[in-house]
Structure 1
Amino acid sequence: MFKSTEESQITISELMLPSHSNFSGKIHGGYILNLMDQIAFACASKHSRNYCVTASVNKVDFLNPIDVGELVTLKASVNYTGRTSMVIGVRVESENIQTGKTKHCNSSYFTMVAKDENGKNVPVPGIILDSEQSIRRFSRSITRQDQAKKRSNNFKASEFKMDDYIELLKDHNAKVKL
């Protein structure tokens, strides 16, 4: 079975309150991560029609701070489907309600796994790639997975060769004492 990405896309908006802020009046990154995880869960569950769990989160860069009083909008869409997993793209934007100015605050990718009532992984519907953007997002997810596997293998304790990396350290804020 295959579903369009539009069938499971979700958008939520929330006003940022003082209770969400840190001491400098900016919204806590952890609070935004919590909202991102919730919308990724909702999107993945809607697509799979199953309970889903977060397996990993890929690269969260906080691009712009969010102020108290701004309206934050999160958008989630299925970018990739595997056998039992999905990559959910999440975009966060904030809007100054008084000026109407919007900022892109971050984008991230949540790998979610569908589970049955016994906690076992279950197959998910595939997605229909019906635009250049959807093909780009799906392809990017495949490439990101391949890069992660290579990175993990290169730095396995059993495979790591210190001599291959020791020169790399010289220009960084570290002192090697062996």
Structure 2
Amino acid sequence: MLNVFTISGLPAHPLLVHAVVVLLPLAAVGTLAVAARPVWRRNLGIPVFLIALVGLIAVPLTTATGDQLKTALGGGGPLVEVHEQRAEHLLPYAVVFVALLLATLLLGRRADRTTGVGEVRTASWVATSAAVLAALAGLVVTGLVIWIGDAGATAVWQGVVTDE
């Protein structure tokens, strides 16, 4: 048996990959909704944040188990190297995404509590700006997930599946 972390006898990496591939883009879509309407931020903000947080936590776990799997299989070829190099970029962007989402929720709550006319306008503008930045960061993270996943899928399936 391979000397890697397993879940029910299967290497953990291909299983954990799905947490990243599903949760981060799902959180990005949720962030677009949160940015679009303050009422959606109030209703969906915390669940979207929790989804993003779990996706973020899955990133280092996925890269660590990927390293274990690569070592257990005796290293990888050039396609695995491309996948690994791309994957190194995701964590910092995911951290920024989750931080901006949290800022959006906190600033939005502050905007909801403000009462003075000038204060409301400023607080609303700051919360909206944070929401737009969080939504953009979510789109960047989604693009990175697709870019990394494409390299991983190519490394695994090239030569196995043909276009015939």
Q: TM-score, normalised by structure 1?
A: 0.26
Could you say which structure has the greater relative contact order, defined with CA pairs below 8 angstroms and 6 or more residues apart? 2
TM-score, normalising length: structure 2: 0.27
Structure with the higher fraction of residues in helix conformation? 2
